[in-house]
Amino acid sequence: MRRICFLLKVKPDRLDEYKRRHAAVWPDMLAALRETGWRNYSLFLRPDGLLVGYFETDDLDAALAGMAATDVNSRWQAEMAPFFEGLDGQPDEGIVPVEEVFHLD
């Protein structure tokens, strides 16, 4: 199992709507995440828009590829893309793992 942490930046004027969308994630999106190996997935949002994502997976490449192959992910990413600053593609393409330097087990 691998722990993945990533950072993105939500536009300050979209914070409230971003939170509302994530309070009601589509059931088929949640199912797709589970089916493709995403576990213990959390998002943390600072008032300045810094988004910290965390999830666990056995195989990061397989988890990302599995989601990329689903229709629901394509729809979700297209709807979420306008919320972010500094992305050249879809939000899930911006997942660049942050190096883990400590873990208390």
Active site annotation includes 22:
yes
Backbone phi, psi, residue 26, to 5°: -55, 135
Q: Chain-centre distance of CA 100, in angstroms?
A: 17
Q: Are 6 and 96 in contact (CB under 8 A)?
A: yes
List, in order, residues 6 or more apart from 40 with CB less than 8 Å away.
Answer: 54, 55, 56
Q: Which of 22, 34, 46, 75 is catalytic?
A: 22
* Contacts with 56 (C-beta within 8 Å, 6 or more apart), sequence order: 1, 2, 3, 4, 38, 39, 40, 41
Give me the active site residues, please: 22
